[in-house]
Amino acid sequence: MHALELVVLLGAALLVGHVLARRSGIAPPLVLLAVGALVGLIPAVRQMQLPPEVVLLLFLPVLLYWESLTTSMREIRNNLRGIVLMSTLLVIATAGTVAVAAHALGLPWGPAWVLGAAVAPTDATAVGAFAKSLPRRQVTVLRGESLINDGTALVVFGLAVGITVGEEHFSVPHVSALFLLAYGGGAAVGALVAWVNMNLRRRLDDPLLGNLVMILAPFTAYLLAEFIHASGVVAVVVSGLIMAYVAPRIIRAEHRRQAMAVWPLATFIINGILFLLVGVEIQYALRHLSRSDLGTALIAIGLISVLLVAVRFAFLFASAYLIRLIDRRPKQRLLRIDNRTRTVSGVAGFRGAVSLAVALSVPVLLDSGAPFPDRDFIVFVTSGVIVVTLVVQGLLLPRIVRWARIPRDTSVDEERSLAETLATEEAMAALPEIAADLGSDPEVVDWARQEYEANLAAVRAEGAGTADDPAVRRSRDHAALRLALIDHKRATVVRLRDERRIDDTVLRRLQASLDDEEVRLTAREVE
């Protein structure tokens, strides 16, 4: 199968999977796994294998960077201790427990630790797909954990692979130095790339060039970090978090609009393809396992899936009570959650595309030319564990959330209402001075004041929860009228193009302007 045929096939499978997911109400990752397994039945697909390093180095930086740009820095700072503990100690404990279990099933220690490192980190995308009903704080902690724990898992993975191929050795000072270099070097590289990114974005007026810099940033951070043997994951995450904080001040609206049109689509495609590859890889690895190895692999999948949940629950509850004994500050008490909420976090530890990327990056051959021991076993078990966690935990999570009776999180709506109210009030207060500086016509000033007053009345009414307030109804009626007029203007412009009275270039420019206005008017309804 040619590369172009593979692209079309994966794209069609991605489309079919998401359409089926929407119509069935099943989470997209679960449907994509099944579609990927069906695609894997095609002989030509089974024969094609991506180079191991491509999956890790091409897909992972983009996913991590976008997750970093769209997470909450405030929530990460408020819950930093828990995030750090879960993304370091929990990952090491999980990898070690899985390695012991895999070794007991017959794997040598090197491949056993490789398998442990592959299944240890949780996946931010899977968390986002299944945990939408959770409060913002809990989702942010889960996403923050999944961003950083990839770095820990990859250090363990690199060490395990190095020991297996004979390039590394195990000692406490050596491992400590590896982790110090991974996190310290990765953070330094991430900060450097973010600094360069900021300076370039300030100077580039062209949105295309600005967003080209944005696309290059995660790959540059990952490449430079790997060059000095630091953590590329940490470098990408740090760079993304810094840019998320400073971007509102330095990036122009046109740049943001273009980025928001490109990045969600890119990450949507990459995530979907990785979930499809899980199904495909199960087919591939299954054919390369003997009957006895297959039985052992199925036992390993069940055992490891149970261990992942058990270790996570044990760590969450033990660390919480230990912190309560050590830290009794009032500030810490405010951050406490009850055991029901903690149970939800325990069930929400999904494995996903990152684990697959790690498993697929296992070398095919050793330096001696011999096959990497048990590589097919590692890929098959990792894929199976991903399937089990997504299916079993994914189906259980909604029930656990209902059982936990977590109150609805209204903080986002409240803070949005506050921001819109204050922004509009202060803009109205500054209106006379701004109008005087610009020399605006009094009629224009009155028109702007009336528009802002109507908007402020609607925002205040919505913030007070009075959706039937006259100001809200007038705002919605006004938006509906504007949208209808936009449709009429768009039809007129298209008709003029069809009549050859205007050029396609003029059509596209006018259409872009109308699209921007429509997006602005419908933004509240879309959210």
Domains and CATH numbers, the chain: 51-404 (1.20.1530.20), 412-526 (no CATH)
pLDDT band at 26 (very low <50, low <70, confident <90, very high): confident
Mark 418-435 as b/e (b = at least 16 C-beta within 10 Å): eebbeebeeeeeeeeeeb
Q: What is the mean pLDDT of the chain?
A: 82
Confidence of residue 98 (pLDDT cuts 50, 70, 90): very high
- pLDDT tens digits, one per residue of 166-195: 666 667 787 788 888 888 999 999 999 999
Reported confidence tier of residue 273, pLDDT bands at 50, 70, 90 = confident
Q: Is 371 helix (H, G, I), strand (E, B) or coil?
A: strand
Q: Which pLDDT band holds residue 419 (cuts at 50, 70, 90)?
A: confident
Residue 48 has φ and ψ, to the nearest 5°, of -95, 130
Q: Let me know: does 186 contact 231? Beta carbons within 8 Å.
A: yes
From the DSSP assignment, how many helices (H) and strands (E) are in the chain?
Answer: 25, 0
Quote the pLDDT of residue 172: 73
Mean pLDDT of 202-212: 89
Global pTM reads 0.81
> In DSSP terms, which residues pair with 371 in a beta bridge?
365
Other C-beta atoms within 10 Å of 183: how many?
21
Residue 495, CA distances (Å) to 491, 501, 504, 508 in order: 6, 9, 11, 13
pLDDT of 523 reads: 64
Which range has the worst mean pLDDT, 247-251, 334-338, 494-498? 334-338
Helices (H), 411-503: 411-438, 442-463, 470-498
Residue 443 pLDDT more than 80?
yes
State the pLDDT confidence band at 527, using cuts at 50, 70 and 90: very low
Model confidence band, residue 287 (pLDDT cutoffs 50, 70, 90): confident
Q: 304: which 2 tokens?
A: 């490891």
CB 425 within 8 A of CB 456: yes
> What pLDDT is stored for residue 219 in this prediction?
94
Res. 520 pLDDT band, cuts 50 70 90: confident
| pLDDT score for 282 | 74
Q: Which of 97-106, 107-116, 124-133 has the lowest mean pLDDT?
A: 124-133
β partners of residue 170: none
Tokens of 135: 């409060």
In angstroms, the first-to-last Cα distance of the chain is 42
- Average pLDDT for 426-444: 84
